[in-house]
Structure 1
């Protein structure tokens, strides 16, 4: 572990100690979420894997413990597509404070038909955005009770080329899976920036930060059996792509920095250094369409109505 001095360059392989802190990662059993959990567990923090699948969470916790001696990891049953269940899930955390939540879990569908949750919401918009929006409300007291709580929202490079349609936020009239996914991630990122503005307005000590993994491929990701298995042939065939993109272990670096770095400020965007696609984490300019306060206000109102949340999400 390295000291958290702001004068030292950030080293992804020498993270500052987070002993005594607790982090919740939604979707922490796979992909970017798994590697963020593994890296954060190595700092001495308690890491809670939010996952609806107990068996997958157990596999992820076993993998982390095999690589991080003394890792303190636990599972929280969490289904972001089931909005009414979220308050009960947060109660099950049984914590007096939470130092950070990483809004990472997501669904990406490649093919029609359009799918809905039990509440009647389009599945990707509901899981990727509405579930995290509602979860934030129930976590607000725990985050506010921490000395310096953080909400880290994991966005996607796919959001850069999309624009929100707040007259049809759930793609009921014109459903195209890839576009619906990109818009759901854009909604997440807009929410992360809007949340920070609202937190600052009420004088909260909680920070809201947005991060994205760049281009993160399974084929360039180191194996963590049984969580993820990359065959040598797959990795060899993908080596030319490594000039532009990276594995999901490296894709987790901006997320981990957004959680840990004492120099990070609310409202910032963190991503990979090389063209926003690969490399060590750095701060990026926030694209104008993600920071538009008028669009964000409309998104906030629509999200609150669909999720049935308090207008201030419990931050006052």
Structure 2
């Protein structure tokens, strides 16, 4: 038996014929996940709230990846009632041309971060970051699972955050009504996503599903260290020079995409695993990490799942 080849972030395996959805694929880390996956020959669908920004991102991907099979679908994670229609539109998109009736992987990447108060809410009355980053993906996954189950080896890849490592959920105040602090609310919303990704895999295994769920995080990923992709992202010379010392500890968003890309493509990546950058969890090539102690608390994961189900009216697994 030949040895498994070493993973090379710059020489990705061929994925022609496979189909991937990247939420928030029009900007930031999501854009680079989409660009890198498109280079494998796969069909990549960008989920975006803005059709204009999605078209700009598609044009950039096609310019960098000649012959890229890239599409877009409108996705608003803050509007839970719209997500079933989004998945119906995705199914129609995949069926044109006829023959594709499955989704090989979804990267749950989209997210919003509020730098300053005040606390905001979605149209459904949920705190904006928790409602979008976590509950939106919770509901989206519910509607996507039939498409994922129709694939030979469907995958759900949830993008968390290194910021979640120092956070803990307040299960009695998931919506931050009692004590709202923007940075903490963001970290907790990403932590909730990570709990969801791990608990989803446990429930899929219990149900005998062929779909697996993997959790990743990008480490420290800065705009100032990210290569330009005008007009999606433009890095000035001043920003590049000013950020040079930080490159010893963190990286750009192109490298921040590597754990998610590996989780989508590498058959050696298994369900229920956590992947992040190799160097202190902040920068470098992707590697498997030990699941953080607080993320391994199944009682918290179960309570969060039950609360999410009650808040949304769906149960993904």
Q: Which residue of 1 aligns with 2:226?
A: 221
Say how many residue pairs are matched. 308
Cα displacement (A) at 1:6: 6.2
Q: Which residue of 1 aligns with 2:87?
A: 90
Q: Which residue of 1 aligns with 2:112?
A: 107
Cα displacement (A) at 1:140: 0.7
1:140 aligns with 2:145: yes
Q: How does 1:20-99 map onto structure 2 within 5 Å?
A: 20-93=17-90, 94=92, 95=94, 96-99=101-104
Whether contact under 8 Å (1:106, 1:128) holds in the other structure is yes
Note the residue ranges of structure 2 that are not aligned, 5 or more in a row.
95-100
Q: Which residue of 2 aligns with 1:299?
A: 304
Q: Which residue of 1 aligns with 2:97?
A: none
Find the residue that maps to 1:92 and give its secondary structure.
Answer: helix
Note the residue ranges of structure 1 that are not aligned, 5 or more in a row.
none
Cα displacement (A) at 1:25: 0.3
The CA RMSD over aligned residues, in Å, is 0.8
Whether contact under 8 Å (1:194, 1:291) holds in the other structure is no
1:206 aligns with 2:203: no
Distance 1:89 1:262 in 2: 28
Distance 1:133 1:119 in 2: 14
Distance 1:25 1:219 in 2: 23
Whether contact under 8 Å (1:6, 1:263) holds in the other structure is no
1:17 aligns with 2:22: no
1:245 aligns with 2:265: no
Cα displacement (A) at 1:7: 1.2
The Cα offsets for residues 215-235 of structure 1, whole Å up to 9 and x where unpaired, read as 000000000000000001110
Q: Which residue of 2 aligns with 1:121?
A: 126
TM-score w.r.t. the length of structure 2 is: 0.96
Distance 2:8 2:197 in 1: 25
Distance 1:78 1:256 in 2: 21
The Cα offsets for residues 75-119 of structure 1, whole Å up to 9 and x where unpaired, read as 100000000000000000124110000000000001110000111
Cα displacement (A) at 1:302: 0.4
The Cα offsets for residues 34-87 of structure 1, whole Å up to 9 and x where unpaired, read as 000000000000000000101100000000000000001001000000000000
Whether contact under 8 Å (1:50, 1:75) holds in the other structure is yes
